[in-house]
Chains A and B, each alone.
Chain A
Amino acid sequence: MIVAVCGTPLLAGALLLAAGRRAGRAAPAVAVGVAFLVLAAAVTAAVTRPAARFAFLPGRTGGLAVDDLSAVLAVTVASVLAAVLLYASVEGYGPRFHGLMLVFAGAMLVTVTASDLVLLLMGWEVMGAMSYALIGYIWQDAGHVASADIAFLTTRAADTGLYAAAGFALAGARSLELSTLSGAADPWRDLIAGGVVLAALGKSAQLPFSFWLARAMAGPSPVSALLHSATMVAAGAYLLLRLHPLLAATQWAETLVSWAGVLTALLLGAVALAQRDLKQLLAASTCAQIGFMFLGAGTGSQAGGTSQLVAHAAVKSLLFLCAGAWLATLGTQRLDGLPGAARGHRLVGVTFGVGALALAGLPPLSLWITKDTVLAAARERSPALLAAGFAASVLSAAYAAKALAWAWRPAADGTPGGPGHRTPVPAGTALTALAVAACVLGAVPWRRILGVPDEARPHAWGLAVSGTVAAVTVAAVVAAVRRGGFTAPRWALGWLYLERAAVAGVARPVMALARALDRFDDRVIDGAVRSAARGAWWASRLATGRIEVRVDGLTGAAGRGARRLGALARRPQTGQVHLYYAQAAVVLGVLAAVALLAR
């Protein structure tokens, strides 16, 4: 069963990719069919709780299993997948798009159901690669490819944390199973936690990694809706929620995660408020909202963090799909190009409004309750966390209101409704379903579903205060936008200059080092080899020039001597018989003399 949940989208996606253009027009229908199949399988799995234990690597047991948290995540991923693909089915994307989306969903399902680090890491990294391929979907454009590069490299740099954590887990716990990590021996437990937190910060675009999500917006809007808001970027929060016992076992990891989350919520909230582009605004707000999930994970609020994740998934995929619809028809996603958009596309406008109000934390919509659950847990830890978290939630009301106000402004040319635009039925269905989810998800009994009945719940007065403040903020911002908006500080508009810092501080020095080492390799290392070869040649020259001359000279002299002797020996051979007789007589005489002397 669990293999069907994860394997179906992986297999179907791979087949679509392999078929390529041959899949042709059938691809969207196939993808939507598979997505609903996966949704059915995920819901079944959430009820039946299947588990498959196997060892991907010999001797390292692990596998896939569905527990409370996994069940919620699996259903969330499958639902958003179905909604987004349903929406995209009429947008004219090809087999490559649908194949990549399905493989992504399969990888995400593996990640959220994995019970050991190998499988988790596998799903985790495949998600990153699919994100790369989908951001660079329009590969002819070098800018899009560069954005994909930055997104993949940044997340992979953080993923090194998980690779290292797997090694530390082997050293400290002799096992890769997630449930054993919190019991690892000192100092390995701290190292594991460090690696896990690093990977989570990177994947979830928390500070200081947030900039890659800005670049990820180069991808098509359905991609932003599925990967870069609802599911993949939330995987970091999932990992920390899953491994909360590990965080709690160390002294520092809970605090670090909480503060990283709340600071991201604050600073990226400011960034979101400053943006002039709808997708950029939504991207920064994604970082900020995931910051609340991190705050939940860091303060031990499973219910708060998880419900925030699920509600945010519905809200943000809805908002991105709406942004995509406007981009497709208006050709712009700049906020000041939006006036008239919502009035022209009534269904899109209304659902966008619902999503934006939910994002603002307006009662009784979902994020109002989930965020307050997180804040209630933060209150139990430290007042400073609560204060920062509350400030961040005011900011979220402000940026949501800014987007809402621009979208619902009448068009500049005075046409009150704009041209009537009919949303295709599948797209409309998807938007409506997501909008309903965005409204009601706060009311789900999360504590019971997740099996954590004793966790902090929001206080009535807290809910009242936050609801009121959100409403006031929304009203104030809408009024401000009506009056012409406000100027944003440059640091917020530029995403805190994070990308510039990463390029100047990491990418350029590494590239310079690479070039320097290349020269070193050629000049010094190969140079040494070449000079050794040259040395051998010189030695041989030396040998021919000096030593060979002597040796050769010696043999030459011997030869010349022999030749002279030969010439001498030839002299007696005159051919005249009397001379031979004379010679023979001389020789006989000599022999006789020798014989006489020798005696």
Chain B
Amino acid sequence: MLSVAIFLPLAAALCLPAVPRRAVPWTWIVIAVGELALVTALWIARGDRGGIAYETDVRWIPSVQAGYHVGADGLSLPLLALTALLFAACAVHSLGRTHRARAFAILFLFLETVCLGLFAALDLLLFFVFFDLSIVGMYFVILLWGHGDRAASALKFFLYTFLGSLVLLLGFLGLYLGADPHTFDMVELTRAPPWPGSPGRAGLTLLAVAIGLGVKTPVVPLHTWLPPAHTDAPAAGSAVLAGVMLKMGPYGLIRIAMPALPDAWSRYAWVFLAIGLAGVLYGALVALAQENLKRLVAYTSVNHMGYVILALGAAGHALGDADARRLAVTGAVTQMVSHGLVTGALFLLCGVLYDRAGGYDLGRFGGIAGGAPALAAAFAVAAFASLGLPGLSGFVAEFQILAGTIGSGTAAAAVTGALAVLGIVLTAALFLRVLHRAVLGPPGELTARVTDLRGSELGAVVPLLALSLAVGVAPRALLDTVEPLSAAVVALVSR
């Protein structure tokens, strides 16, 4: 059933050339929404039990013990649902856009399969194949539908993340060679972590895996491919890149690095704490100085992903309180979902601005709440969700991360967590600055061109924000799914 869900978009993409041109957008929407319903049904049917569900394990490359092994657990399901939701939002958002619409739909359906496959993969090689295909797909999205200096941005994105994926492959080979018997199977690797007697090699393997995934996350200082890629990508591309593809990094850390290299992870947990803190503060500060709205939102991603890395670092502190560390891991997963919802919405809204006015310059807007009240309201809600206002998803995530990190009780984690709290003031400052300069106040040069949200744009953004509100008000539906997974990860890291 899971495999059907993974490959349904690809199958639809293959059929799409046969669909008449007029019907393409609606066909895409129907498929994307159907896919969302399917994934949601999978989640509901499974409930919040621990362990892996919907497992399929087929021999694929027997010579290296690699299989087509997929399954879904408390970490996969929320991300699968997020993926399906964001792609559906992109489909709705793209309604009425005519530039090579059929190819765009096909590429996005292909990307959807790739992303779903990655979050379900339980085999390193399968994971890697999906990981690299996502880079290829996004390269073409930026190159063919982007704007501005898109060729350079696309090339930089491709080379940087592809190089990262090569380092990741080295790490996977390290895992393969360290396992006895050699295997690429994640479940096997979790059961018997590789390199049991040689901490040095385990450390090197972790280094390679962490660099490979860190480029994708991205962590400071491996983040500079992100701002140009976002700035020049089309709105739907940015939404998917930030909302879904950035999650592949931390997802891989939780799924692969922490369970398979527990000793190395807890030995170098302080590194992740430090990198996470750097991401939180550095990302927010650099975002604060941006004049380009899309670049600013891109840097807030660095900040938000910093929280995730911080929490995972805290989870690795074996001396800390297990309860608090579990809270931190749950917070990290919540942050991944929340960031997908909120930043996805923010990028779609940036796209609306670009559509109307052809620019992202904060200084040239102002007072758009006058002519476009719905746009302004949606932007304000998304901004407050992103800065962690209670009642919206960002707070649930960041509160758990900060409280869990500080509460794990070791001096290093407590100090790092307390410093990371400053990040919430910086994000507040930067979003208020955006609201002040672009949304409120007297009208600016481009304000007259900004008309209000159309039906399709509302249909894409409102569900994302409504879900953010739902998670913020009643988070238990999500958290109860994630909790068993967090407990398992914390137990695995401390063994």
Instruction: Let me know if A170 and B404 touch, CB within 8 A.
Output: yes
Instruction: Let me know if A529 and B160 touch, CB within 8 A.
Output: yes
Instruction: Let me know if B288 and A511 touch, CB within 8 A.
Output: yes
Interchain CA distance A518-B285 in the complex, whole Å: 8
Q: Given known contacts A157-B425, A525-B221, is B407 in contact with A169 (CB within 8 Å)?
A: yes
Interchain CA distance A129-B370 in the complex, whole Å: 21
B410 CB → nearest A CB, Å: 9
Which residues of chain B in 426-464 are interfacial with respect to chain A, using CB atoms and an 8 Å cutoff?
426, 428-429, 432-433, 435-436, 440-442
Instruction: Let me know if A57 and B400 touch, CB within 8 A.
Output: yes
Instruction: Let me know if B321 and A174 touch, CB within 8 A.
Output: yes
A176 CB → nearest B CB, Å: 8
Looking at chain B's contact residues, the main secondary structure is: helix
Interchain CA distance A510-B288 in the complex, whole Å: 9
Interchain CA distance A578-B408 in the complex, whole Å: 102
Which residues of chain A in 99-141 are interfacial with respect to chain B, using CB atoms and an 8 Å cutoff?
118, 121-123, 125-126, 129, 132, 136, 139-141
Contacts of B429 in A (CB 8 A): 153, 510
Give the residue name and chain of the B residue nearest to A520 (CB).
B286
Instruction: Let me know if B384 and A129 touch, CB within 8 A.
Output: yes
B321 CB → nearest A CB, Å: 7
Give the residue name and chain of the B residue nearest to A118 (CB).
B399
Stretch of B103-111, B205-213, B322-330 that contacts chain A: B322-330
Contacts of A526 in B (CB 8 A): 224
Instruction: Let me know if A58 and B321 touch, CB within 8 A.
Output: no
Which has the most chain B C-beta neighbours within 10 Å: A140, A146, A176?
A140
Contact of A517 among B282, B389, B403 (CB under 8 A): B282
Stretch of B59-67, B236-244, B348-356, B415-423 that contacts chain A: B415-423
Question: What per-residue 1/0 map shows which CB atoms of B359-401 lie under 8 Å from chain A?
Answer: 0000000010110010001000000100001110001100110
Instruction: Let me know if B389 and A167 touch, CB within 8 A.
Output: no
Q: Is the CB of B177 closer than 8 A to any CB of chain A?
A: no
Instruction: Let me know if B389 and A140 touch, CB within 8 A.
Output: no
Q: Is the CB of B402 closer than 8 A to any CB of chain A?
A: yes
Q: Is the CB of B290 closer than 8 A to any CB of chain A?
A: yes
Q: Is the CB of B289 closer than 8 A to any CB of chain A?
A: yes
Instruction: Let me know if B406 and A171 touch, CB within 8 A.
Output: yes
Give the residue name and chain of the A residue nearest to B426 (CB).
A510
Q: Given known contacts A58-B483, A152-B432, is B421 in contact with A514 (CB within 8 Å)?
A: no
Question: What per-residue 1/0 map shows which CB atoms of B222-233 lie under 8 Å from chain A?
Answer: 011100000000
Instruction: Let me know if B406 and A521 touch, CB within 8 A.
Output: no
Contact of A167 among B402, B432, B483 (CB under 8 A): B402
A299 CB → nearest B CB, Å: 29
Q: Is the CB of B267 closer than 8 A to any CB of chain A?
A: no
Contacts of B204 in A (CB 8 A): none
Interchain CA distance A153-B330 in the complex, whole Å: 28
Interchain CA distance A123-B409 in the complex, whole Å: 26
Instruction: Let me know if A58 and B479 touch, CB within 8 A.
Output: yes
Instruction: Let me know if B321 and A170 touch, CB within 8 A.
Output: yes
Interchain CA distance A514-B475 in the complex, whole Å: 34
Instruction: Let me know if B406 and A167 touch, CB within 8 A.
Output: yes
Instruction: Let me know if B323 and A513 touch, CB within 8 A.
Output: no
Q: Given known contacts A58-B480, A521-B286, is B403 in contact with A153 (CB within 8 Å)?
A: no
Instruction: Let me know if B440 and A136 touch, CB within 8 A.
Output: yes
Contact of B475 among A20, A57, A164 (CB under 8 A): A57
Instruction: Let me know if A125 and B367 touch, CB within 8 A.
Output: no
Contact of B224 among A121, A146, A157, A525 (CB under 8 A): A525
Interchain CA distance A141-B367 in the complex, whole Å: 9
Contact of B414 among A55, A163, A167 (CB under 8 A): A167
Instruction: Let me know if B390 and A171 touch, CB within 8 A.
Output: no
Q: Is the CB of A168 closer than 8 A to any CB of chain B?
A: yes
Instruction: Let me know if A142 and B425 touch, CB within 8 A.
Output: no
Q: Given known contacts A57-B479, A139-B440, A140-B441, is B321 in contact with A171 (CB within 8 Å)?
A: yes
Q: Given known contacts A20-B373, A142-B441, is B289 in contact with A164 (CB within 8 Å)?
A: no
Interchain CA distance A514-B283 in the complex, whole Å: 10
Instruction: Let me know if A163 and B441 touch, CB within 8 A.
Output: no
Q: Is the CB of B86 closer than 8 A to any CB of chain A?
A: no
Q: Is the CB of A93 closer than 8 A to any CB of chain B?
A: no
Question: What per-residue 1/0 map shows which CB atoms of A232-252 lie under 8 Å from chain B?
Answer: 000000000000000000000
Contacts of A346 in B (CB 8 A): none
Interchain CA distance A168-B286 in the complex, whole Å: 29
Interchain CA distance A59-B407 in the complex, whole Å: 14
Interchain CA distance A254-B438 in the complex, whole Å: 45
Instruction: Let me know if B414 and A168 touch, CB within 8 A.
Output: yes
Which residues of chain B in 319-347 are interfacial with respect to chain A, using CB atoms and an 8 Å cutoff?
321, 323-324, 327, 330
Instruction: Let me know if A513 and B406 touch, CB within 8 A.
Output: no
Contacts of B225 in A (CB 8 A): 529
Q: Is the CB of A145 closer than 8 A to any CB of chain B?
A: yes
Contact of B432 among A149, A174, A511 (CB under 8 A): A149
Instruction: Let me know if B408 and A171 touch, CB within 8 A.
Output: yes
Give the residue name and chain of the B residue nearest to A129 (CB).
B389
Q: Given known contacts A511-B288, A514-B288, A525-B224, is B370 in contact with A140 (CB within 8 Å)?
A: yes
Contact of B441 among A57, A139, A160, A510 (CB under 8 A): A139
Q: Is the CB of A166 closer than 8 A to any CB of chain B?
A: yes
Which has the most chain B C-beta neighbours within 10 Å: A59, A139, A515, A533?
A139
Contacts of B405 in A (CB 8 A): 167
Question: What per-residue 1/0 map shows which CB atoms of A156-193 lie under 8 Å from chain B?
Answer: 11001001101111110010100000000000000000
Instruction: Let me know if A145 and B441 touch, CB within 8 A.
Output: yes
Q: Is the CB of A56 closer than 8 A to any CB of chain B?
A: yes
Which has the most chain A C-beta neighbours within 10 Å: B400, B402, B425?
B425
Task: Name B residues whose Cβ lies closer than 8 Å to a Cβ of A.
Answer: 159-160, 220-221, 223-225, 282, 285-286, 288-290, 321, 323-324, 327, 330, 367, 369-370, 373, 377, 384, 389-391, 395-396, 399-400, 402-409, 414, 417-418, 421-422, 424-426, 428-429, 432-433, 435-436, 440-442, 475-476, 479-480, 483
- In the complex, the 8 A-B pairs of residues with the closest C-beta atoms, listed nearest first: A167-B406, A170-B407, A122-B390, A518-B289, A526-B224, A514-B289, A514-B288, A142-B441
Give me 22 A-to-B residue pairs in the complex whose CB atoms sit less than 8 angstroms apart, sorted by A's number: A58-B483, A121-B390, A121-B399, A125-B390, A129-B389, A140-B367, A152-B432, A153-B428, A160-B422, A163-B424, A167-B407, A167-B414, A170-B324, A170-B403, A171-B406, A174-B323, A176-B403, A510-B285, A510-B426, A517-B282, A517-B286, A529-B224
